[in-house]
């Protein structure tokens, strides 16, 4: 009789442990955030290292609604219509502006005032608020000429 009770208790203990393990696994999976949807092809993914894939995932977050804008800083090296090339010590960046982009400068009191795109000339320091498009391109929608 004692042997039967012992086996019954062991069986109940094993069932309880398995149930708790299954519950813990379910709870863990519910707290793990799903991986963001990846738009790269299998060939592109195979060509990237794991660290490159992680960096690509971070960059893709910049396309989300959570990021309202990115600021690009530099000196104007060239301007062609609505396309501005900014130069820094290490890189040149071409930033196209939207046709309705707002251009600002500062007056003598330091107050920001709206101006025209013609105020942007080569050699001036500028900061441009850009959005990253789903295509991976940037588009500028606001610029500030830094005096």
Render pLDDT for 9-61 as a digit per residue (tens, 0 to 9): 888 888 888 888 877 777 766 655 455 555 555 555 567 788 887 777 776 66
User: CA-to-CA distance for 75 and 11, rounded, in angstroms?
Assistant: 75
pLDDT of res. 63: 65
- Direct distance between the N- and C-terminal alpha carbons of the chain, in angstroms, rounded to an integer: 94
Residue 6, pLDDT > 70, answer yes
Pairwise pLDDT comparison (128 vs 136), residue with the higher score: 128
What pLDDT sits at residue 10?
87
Q: Which fold has domain 68-146?
A: OB fold (Dihydrolipoamide Acetyltransferase, E2P) (2.40.50)
The pLDDT, as a whole number, for residue 23 is 77
User: Tokens 């196209």 — which residue?
Assistant: 96
Report the pLDDT value the prediction gives residue 83, as an integer from 0 to 100.
94
At residue 67, the pLDDT reads: 64
- Residue 84: partners with Cβ closer than 8 Å, 6 or more residues away: 76, 78, 94, 95, 96, 97, 120, 126, 128, 140, 143
List pLDDT tens digits, range 55-84.
Answer: 777 766 666 666 667 888 899 999 999 999
Stated as kind and residue range, the H or E segment containing 32 is: none
Cα(87)–Cα(108) distance, integer angstroms: 26
In the chain, where the domains are located: 1-33, 68-146
pTM value is 0.57
Task: Judge contact between 80 and 118, C-beta under 8 A.
Answer: no
**Cα–Cα dist 23/97, whole Å:** 54
């Amino acid at each position: 009789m004692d042997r039967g009770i012992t086996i019954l208790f062991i069986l109940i203990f094993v069932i309880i442990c398995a149930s708790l393990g299954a519950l813990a696994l379910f709870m863990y999976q519910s707290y793990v955030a799903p991986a963001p949807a990846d738009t790269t092809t299998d060939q592109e993914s195979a060509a990237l290292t794991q660290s490159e894939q992680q960096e690509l995932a971070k960059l893709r977050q910049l396309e989300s609604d959570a990021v309202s804008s990115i600021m690009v800083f530099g000196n104007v090296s060239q301007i062609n219509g609505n396309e501005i090339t900014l130069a820094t010590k290490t890189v040149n960046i071409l930033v196209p502006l939207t046709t309705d982009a707002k251009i600002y400068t500062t007056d003598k009191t330091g107050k920001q005032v709206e101006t025209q795109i013609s105020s942007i000339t080569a050699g001036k320091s500028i900061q441009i608020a850009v959005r990253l498009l789903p295509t991976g391109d940037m588009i500028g929608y606001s610029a500030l000429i830094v005096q």
